[in-house]
Structure 1
Amino acid sequence: MEVHPKSWLWEGFSVKLDGITNVYGSTKLFNCNRKAEEVLVAATDSNEKALENCFRIVRFDRADNLRGTAPTVELPGLTEFQSSFTVLAVHSIPKKDVNLICVIFINQVEEDPENESLDQKCCINIYSAPSVDDAASTPVDYVEQVVTFNPTNVTDAFLGTPEDDQNVFLIPCENSDVHIFRNCSTDQLFKFSELSHDESQKLFPEFQFDRRFLEQVDQPLPLIMWLDVMYVPFAEHKRLSAIAWENGNIQLALTSITTSQENTTESPPIAVELLFAKVICFDGPVTQLRFFTSKAVDLGNTEINLVVCTALEFVYVYHDVVNSSFSKVVPFDDSSIEADCVLCCAVYDIDMDCQNEIVIGTFYQQIAAFKFSPVKNIYELMWERKYPGPVRALEVVDLSNDGVHDLIVVTNNSVHIMQHNIAYIAQICKQNLLAFVKRLETGGETTPPPVGGLNKGEDDSLNATAYLHKEASN
């Protein structure tokens, strides 16, 4: 296997947070004003100063030669809790013209003199904004709800299919329940409302779990640690979901979605059928799981895989889960990695060969990249790097909007931007442009390569990364 030096990935920026974040404390945004991706990080601590600087936006400053910055921001509706709230989770849905941001936090209201304890309330704030800036000029709409359940984390999905474009936030809580908040905004009103139990059962039957593998004698139901949803690219009316519990159980489910084409003033009726739901169990908690495609391009002709990070058994990848569920398991080669607890992962095409690689972050302060070897049927180590704290989260973003992704590494109390080596990128571009010119001279392709582009679909032309992938595949 080719040796993959880590020198092509370097640290361009790092900043210390004013508090401590957790594994659910960061999310990717799209700044509609700057036309670039960003990362929102929440970090809270017991001291008042940290709470005043709870949220930071990681971005490139275009006025300062694209240097990394992490200014603090304030979200409306949290001002009155500035000295008494703790963020549990933050998640966003980056759309073409707006970001939908869900913040789950505990509001410690006031101290009870008799019980010498704080009265805690769980709150869910959902925001809508084209960007999240330090300037107060950016319009931000939000709704706030005090809930009676205890949320654990949050992710997103669509009410039906992606074509319907009706977003929902999926919020797991205690007792292994999943609460679903639907976007029912209008032109004049920003609003999210919770689906009833009957509606949730009808639209998301995969969340009606078989309690036999969850219940234990004299023990509360386990918490849902992670939940991931993906819509099958080559069959857009099918939805994959994976749910991981703290006891090591994982459920993989596939549903079929049918939307009526009747012309009605209300939302079209949606019928959802559960095709299968299968469960496996690990020895210990599952720290993160994530769906991804084998190929970085040509998504209509690729397998969908599931990467599973565990606290005790390192990492496993299940290939082609749509057709094979849990039967095609591929392990990681951890022979060169010290015994460690994997906390998070990210998936993207690191070396621009059209195939996705996996980066993991661990409790013992390191990130490591792995590449699939079809000959050995194993994921082999590409490179690794140490950090000044446990790695809580990894985010893949295009901070400069040049088509080349950056890796955001979030540790306990710091954020780091990892960038590609410019010389490496220039070499790849030169090779692919020369190949393009050669095909022109021989009467081949006549479409010129794009200079740049957007990752969010604002432009119909290929972006730089897509062109590099296309050239590599040729």
Structure 2
Amino acid sequence: MAASLSKPSDISNINLNEAHFFSLPSQGNLYTLTPLTDAKGYTKLLVASLQRKIYCLEYSNGRPVIREVPFTYIPGGAEIISIDAVNRSVIQEDFIVGITIIKKDDATGQSSCFFNVYSDWDLTCDSALDIVSQNCLPLELEFIPYQLYHTKTQGKSGWETIWVLSGSDCQIHLYLSDEESHGYQEIDGSEAFPEFALIKGITLWVDIEYSSDNKRRVTAASGENGRVHLFLVNLETSPKVDGSRVMEWDYPVPSVKIFQLISHIPVPNALQSFVSSVPAKAEDKRVEESNVVVPSSLESCFVYKNVFDECTGCLLDDTDANDVVTCCIVCDIDHDGQNEVLIGTYGQVILIFKQAESGQWDSHHTVTVPDPVLSMIHCDVMGDGTLQLIVMTISGIHIFQHDPWEMASLLLNRLENLLDPKTANSDIEGEQLNGREIAKVEMEKEE
């Protein structure tokens, strides 16, 4: 059964085509799909199945390649709960992969949980994924892990990558690298992340967004108890919670996503000199005007605008009519410069919502897949400069590609508009380009 795309008759087609499908030997879950971008800007996918198998999906010369990566210290009978990965360097491969597992002892019936961190401390050469997979630091956990997430925090020598792990003990745990011991250790997060101490219950999902000047951040956390916590944190001196909001539902909230209405696109290197003379905005208001998607598992989903100001909510129609809601992402799926909301469901349907001029969020498209949806990512895994919709179901990975000919035409038209002196100044603002005037298509990757 192939995936299908439907739309209201009065809305133009997104033209998503299913390019490839990769079957998995056993299903994953909401936390077992993550992207990993190398120093050249190419993105690969790490996919974990519950039965110990971890695969790397990438494209080579335009062709998809999927292979198993032999990560060590995952014993027989263990189940993978979550996976996350990051490249700490922009000039070489400095991959770090985190994997949480649970292993039941057949003799005692007791379960043991571990957080395995894979990295290569020898930075004199690139750390290929196969090398990293053999360098493991296992950390035993006293709780059942849930979502594994990474963000940044201010350390002694600048900004550092930190692991954020939610657990069954109703706490959010933080793990930071120790360069002296070449290891990782759990740290007290009361100073760096004071908002986590205010969260009650088991956290299912965490999302964090920093302002461009790194003086503020917004933290969102959704819970098993139906609560969604939102925090505005001031970082100018030491982290301090300046604002907070709590929302409650009757059922678990599996995900939460912070987003802006406008899709902001980094300027490609080839256009940096063209926009260098354009003055930057005096103030970054993206954090203060943050919007949030709240997908309740068994109730209707909502989008909240300006959560620390007016906090007006908008119902997403029919999100309670397709079985359990499992995940959500926000992206500019139709390349008009405004972000859309994508809701994944166990009912084999992906619902796409778009904001109308009235401010309401209307149904834009529906994508149907053969199996229940577990996770979604919008990234450039093909390496062609456009973004693909990656959908993980209980049977495998679906890769949806935008029509290449339409994307090429869109790129040429918008480059013409950009290079037109009459419209150049109105199309460019500071360090970012609005997707209304520039296609989300990079120039050919530099060799």
TM-score under structure 2 length normalisation: 0.81
The partner residue of 1:406 within 388, 393, 406 is 388
What is the SS of the residue equivalent to 1:468? Answer: coil
- Corresponding letter in the other structure for 2:185: S
Contact 1:184–1:192 (CA<8 Å) still a contact in 2?
yes
| 1:282-338 superposed Cα distances (whole Å, 9 cap, x missing partner) | 1211121111121112794543211111112232111122434xx221221338x84
Who is 1:468 aligned against?
439
Contact 2:337–2:437 (CA<8 Å) still a contact in 1?
no
| 1:93-116 superposed Cα distances (whole Å, 9 cap, x missing partner) | 3332323221110133x421xxxx
Contact 1:371–1:380 (CA<8 Å) still a contact in 2?
yes
Q: Within 5 A, what are the aligned runs for 1:1-150?
A: 3-6=11-14, 8-32=15-39, 35-45=41-51, 51=52, 54-62=53-61, 66-78=62-74, 81=75, 83-95=76-88, 96=90, 97=92, 98-108=94-104, 110-112=105-107, 117-128=108-119, 133=129, 136=130, 141-150=135-144
CA–CA separation in structure 1 for the residues paired with 2:47 and 2:156 = 27
1:288 aligns with 2:283: no
The offset of 1:86, in angstroms, is 0.5
Distance change (3 Å), C-alpha of 1:209 and 1:256: same
Indicate the percent of aligned positions where both proteins have the same amino acid.
23
The partner residue of 2:371 within 389, 403, 408 is 389
| 1:125-144 superposed Cα distances (whole Å, 9 cap, x missing partner) | 112266664xx456864321
Unaligned ranges ≥5, structure 1 = 46-50, 215-221, 260-270, 450-459
TM-score under structure 1 length normalisation: 0.77
The offset of 1:16, in angstroms, is 0.8
CA–CA separation in structure 2 for the residues paired with 1:296 and 1:163 = 32
CA–CA separation in structure 2 for the residues paired with 1:19 and 1:162 = 43
The partner residue of 2:182 within 152, 171, 190 is 190
Distance change (3 Å), C-alpha of 1:156 and 1:353: same
Distance change (3 Å), C-alpha of 1:111 and 1:344: same
Contact 1:87–1:105 (CA<8 Å) still a contact in 2?
yes
Contact 2:233–2:242 (CA<8 Å) still a contact in 1?
yes
CA–CA separation in structure 1 for the residues paired with 2:36 and 2:353 = 26
Who is 1:206 aligned against?
195
When Rg is computed on C-alpha atoms for both structures, the one with the higher figure is: 1
The offset of 1:161, in angstroms, is 8.4
CA–CA separation in structure 1 for the residues paired with 2:224 and 2:235 = 29
Contact 1:206–1:253 (CA<8 Å) still a contact in 2?
yes
Contact 1:30–1:99 (CA<8 Å) still a contact in 2?
no
1:152 aligns with 2:131: no
- Corresponding letter in the other structure for 1:61: S
Who is 1:253 aligned against?
231
Who is 2:206 aligned against?
227
Q: Within 5 A, what are the aligned runs for 1:337-352?
A: 338-352=321-335
| 1:407-447 superposed Cα distances (whole Å, 9 cap, x missing partner) | 1100012101111101220221232233345x25x6x759x
Contact 2:98–2:117 (CA<8 Å) still a contact in 1?
yes
CA–CA separation in structure 1 for the residues paired with 2:102 and 2:33 = 17
Who is 1:306 aligned against?
292
RCO higher in 1 or 2 (8 Å CA, sep ≥ 6)?
Answer: 2
Contact 1:16–1:413 (CA<8 Å) still a contact in 2?
yes
Contact 1:184–1:193 (CA<8 Å) still a contact in 2?
yes
What is the SS of the residue equivalent to 1:175? Answer: coil
Who is 1:219 aligned against?
none
CA–CA separation in structure 1 for the residues paired with 2:23 and 2:41 = 26
The offset of 1:9, in angstroms, is 0.5
Q: RMSD value over aligned CA atoms? A: 3.1
Who is 2:312 aligned against?
328
